[in-house]
Structure 1
Amino acid sequence: MSELLSVDGASVAQPLKPLAVVLTGTENPYRVLQWLRRSPAAHLLRRLALDPEALNHDSLDMLPQRAATAYVRGLLVTAGILPPRDENLALLTNWVARTVAGLPARQASLIRPFAEWHIIRDARRRSARGRYTYAAHKGDCGNVLAAIVVLNWLDSQHLSLRRLQQRNLDVRAIDRPTLRSRSIPFLRWSTPRRLCPHGLSIEHPASQLPGHFQAEDEARNELLRCFNDTMLPLDLRVAAALVRLYALPLTRIVELTDDHIRRDQEHTYLTVNQHPFVLPPKLARLIDDQLRHSTPRHRTRAGHRYLLPGQSPGRPRNPLGLTCRL
């Protein structure tokens, strides 16, 4: 550990001593040794330890955003060396900066203000309220990409945004129906700024009523399997049971922490959107077992344990990966 976190190889540098505590506090020492020898994150941490000036969010943001970078950032935040921040908001702002930097100047002059003053500004409001999720970040990135697609399409049609007409949009809505609704935020933002003609409209695709229904017996059997099948991974049993019982979306489930669990003498309660509801005893026990797997690395900014922690310290499970596992 001293070799990893010191400049001279003899003792851990003073600013990194909290990190040494996190790394050696609760883990199996053999797993830690294996991590030190083989993990790209450990190699990155060694480079940062040699340059204390690089121990900040801005320096990490300039590195390739790989799993090792996210893991090291999470460790440094967990140890208190870096201040906590909303990582989903940071993912959005950094992605926008990189994306806009790669655009032609003519497109960047439109995409930059749309992204910064409309998309990111709204994301900051949601983050301040504590509800800016990974799925929200992906959706906002999709809206910016859709705006870029609109500008590329205009170039292919030898049109400018100011010369766009309703008939052009109608033709495009037929050719690319999946991108139709994604174009709405950009056009709505452009219209009051007189960047495109007034009166343009793109209607949202008509919502379709549910057409696939699961038989009650099948749903019940799946729920019983979540409760009783010990061959299934524990985290998947918990997530699937919450979906089956309460129709909670995975984007909400991955944000659950021990702070959402309350107990009295008779029942265990799960609170969602400030509404507590009683958990079946079997599910309550599964959740208790799952929470026992949490370590100090699996804490939120407020110090609560994630029910479904992610690979990076201080981060919840990625809902997209969880969807694939389920």
Structure 2
Amino acid sequence: MFWPVGAVCPLCYRAALTQPESCTMCGRQRILVGRTPDGGRICKACSFPDERPDYCSSCQQPADLLPGRRCPRCTLLAKVTRLLSRDGSTLDASLRPLADVLSDASNPYPVLAWLRRSPAARLLGQLVTAPDELDHAALDALPQGHATTYVRSLLTTAGMLPPRDENLALLINWTARTLAKLPGHQATLIRPFAEWHIIRDARRRSARGRYTYTAHKGDCANIRAAIDFLTWLDTQQHTLQSLTQEDLDVWAISRPALRARSIPFIRWAGARHLTRVGLTIEHPPSQLPGQFQIEEEHYEELRRCLNDPTLPSDVRIAAALIRLYALPLTRIVELTADHLHHDADHTYLTIIRHPVVLPPKLARLIDDHLEDASRHGNEATRYLLPGRAPGRPRNPAGLSDKLKRYGLPARAARNTAMMEALADLPPVVLSDLIGIQPRTAERFAAMAGENWYDYLAGRHSARA
């Protein structure tokens, strides 16, 4: 491909098509194919001012035309209308908000590519044939995958579905599917344990805004451990009523990976007199963190986050928050623009309930990141690190992998940041500040060689 700027490789050609920028001469968002003598990048119309410009057949504006002699925006509007309408031209009034969300992108090229290639777009086209039947229950009945998740987020962003706690919904739907596959005698026990113990507690945490994706995975693991335990009882020809402590010890030894996860079910069954009195599984000994960084390495990585413009902004922000405040990725991905506040002198980030002052470089980085997201049409979500699905945060596991690829792993840095914080803060203060268990903070404090019992005693005396 040859442009006025010179030969262009296929990769750069596709990148230019998907990332229109402001022409330095006319100021319009265009595909930039030429340069001015002083190095400014310009569009086709400005590169060839003596030629008659190409006009869109729909809006009659000069444009970089796509097949059908339409500009990218008019092409997108036509394709969205064709996807969402029964006859290819007339939109149902109830689908207008969805059409607006899809066609109102500041950069139409990625949406055009999504309409052309994505399974989610094909699924959406199938579902909108009956818009009156679109609800969360209808989507829950479909096979759950990336396409279903994306379509649900899109419909929620458009206001066609009410928002809900998706992590809680994942737990409830997974539990229902799992119970349906169990033998009757197992389902009789697992159903009340799951619904009245696990899910009820999850609902309470969700109401407080504290039910994370990691919490959902942990609750599912507890239910799976209970099912595995009952299956083991069947193979041993035991029942809960005939179970002895020796049997339970054999189970715990033979299932080290499930040992801790089975404790909630054993306690639940004992509290309801489904087992003999006094049967227990002890928690395995707590493993102290083993991954740390030396101080020089820790601060060198922090300097990279704050100063290296070659790193992606999401990597710089997440890695800096870990190294400065020991925040877990599960909490970082839930941060939104509403957690940021500015005054005349400082920018504050509210963690749980407590605002902390951000370093000026990190504050500017976050402001620029949010401004860039707004320019690319993500202002509706306002997550600091939005996910691929509209209205959803970034997946913490995927973000962790990305940090590793850029040489900024999370676990060792967070452990080190915890130790650094405990040099100045009592464990109870740190646990309240960043939302970790007091027991975890105490373990780190013990490793750091600090003893805060005098502080706790003084705090208790002051309250009394």
Aligned to 2:232: 153
> Aligned partner of 1:244: which letter?
R
- Judging changes above 3 Å, is the alpha-carbon distance between structure 1 residues 211 and 81 closer, same or farther for their aligned structure 2 residues? closer
Q: Which residue of the other structure, out of 3, 7, 10, is the alignment partner of 2:89?
A: 10
Tell which has more relative contact order, 1 or 2 (C-alpha 8 A, sep 6+).
1
Based on CA coordinates, which of the two structures has the bigger radius of gyration? 2
Q: 2:209 aligns with which of 110, 115, 130?
A: 130
Q: Which secondary structure does the structure 1 equivalent of 2:217 belong to?
A: helix
- The Cα shift of 1:298 comes to 4.9
Paired residues of 1:297 and 1:314 also in contact (CA < 8 A): no
- Aligned match for 2:295, one of 199, 216, 230: 216
Q: Find the counterpart in structure 2 of residue 289 from structure 1.
A: 368
Q: Distance in 1 between matches of 2:167 and 2:248?
A: 33
| 1:105 equivalent in structure 2 | 184
Q: TM-score, normalised by structure 2?
A: 0.67
Gaps of 5+ in 2: 1-79, 404-464
The correspondence of residues 237-252 of structure 1 with structure 2, limited to 5 A, is 237-252=316-331
1:247-279 Cα offsets, whole Å, 9 max, x none, are 001111010000110111111111101111111
Q: 2:377 and 2:183 mapped to 1: Cα distance?
A: 42
Tell me how far 1:293 sits from its aligned partner: 3.9
Give CA deviations for 1:224-269 in whole Å, capped at 9, x if unaligned: 1111222222111110111011100111101000011011111111
Contact 1:78 1:297 in 2 (8 A): no
Aligned to 1:309: 386
Match of 1:83 in 2: 162
2:334 is paired with a residue whose SS is coil
Task: Say yes or no: does 1:36 pair with 2:115.
Answer: yes
Counterpart of 2:87 in 1: which secondary structure? coil
Tell me the equivalent position of 2:23. Answer: none
1:23 and 2:82 correspond: no
Q: Does 1:181 align with 2:260?
A: yes
Please tell me whether the aligned partners of residues 193 and 268 of structure 2 are also in contact (alpha carbons under 8 angstroms): yes
Which deviates further from its counterpart, 158-167 or 227-236?
A: 227-236
The match for 2:346 is 267
Structure 1 residues 67, 232: closer, same or farther in 2, change over 3 A? same
Of 132, 140, 147 in structure 2, the residue corresponding to residue 61 of structure 1 is: 140
Candidates 290, 303, 311, aligned match of 1:232: 311
CA deviation after TM superposition for structure 1 residue 292, in Å: 2.4
Match of 2:398 among 313, 321, 325: 321
Deviation at 1:285, TM superposition (A): 1.4
* Structure 1 residue 115 displacement after superposition: 0.6
1:205 equivalent among 281, 284, 293: 284
SS at match of 1:162: coil
Per-residue CA deviations over 1:143-174 (Å, capped at 9, x if unaligned) read 10110111111122221111111111222222
Match of 2:275 in 1: 196
2:172 is matched with which residue: 75, 84, 93? 93
- SS at 2:81's partner residue? coil
RMSD over aligned CA atoms reads 1.6
State how far apart, in whole Å, the 1-side matches of 2:276 and 2:397 are: 38
Distance across 2 between alignment mates of 1:318 and 1:203: 33
Residue matched to 2:197: 118
The 2-side partners of 1:67 and 1:259 are apart by 27
How many angstroms does 1:204 deviate by?
1.0
The 2-side partners of 1:290 and 1:140 are apart by 34
Structure 2 Cα separation of the partners of residues 242 and 105 of structure 1: 48
Query: Separation in 1 of the partners of 2:131 and 2:290?
Result: 58
**TM-score, normalised with respect to structure 1:** 0.95
1:278 matched to which residue of 2?
Answer: 357
8 Å contact from structure 2 (residues 86, 129) kept in 1: yes
AA of the residue aligned to 2:88: G
For 2:389 and 2:189, the matched residues in 1 are separated by 35
Provide the identity percentage.
65
Partner of 2:355, secondary structure, is strand
> Where do 5+ consecutive residues of structure 1 fail to align?
none
Q: Secondary structure at the match of 2:198?
A: helix
The answer as to whether partners of 2:381 and 2:390 remain within 8 angstroms in 1 is no
- The answer to whether the 8 Å contact 1:259/1:304 transfers is no
> 1-side partners of 2:188 and 2:212: how far apart?
28
Query: What count of residue pairs does the alignment treat as equivalent?
Result: 323
Distance across 2 between alignment mates of 1:67 and 1:224? 36
Cα drift, residue 304 of structure 1: 5.8
Contact kept? 1:54, 1:60, Cα under 8 Å: no
Q: Helix, strand or coil: the match of 1:313? A: coil
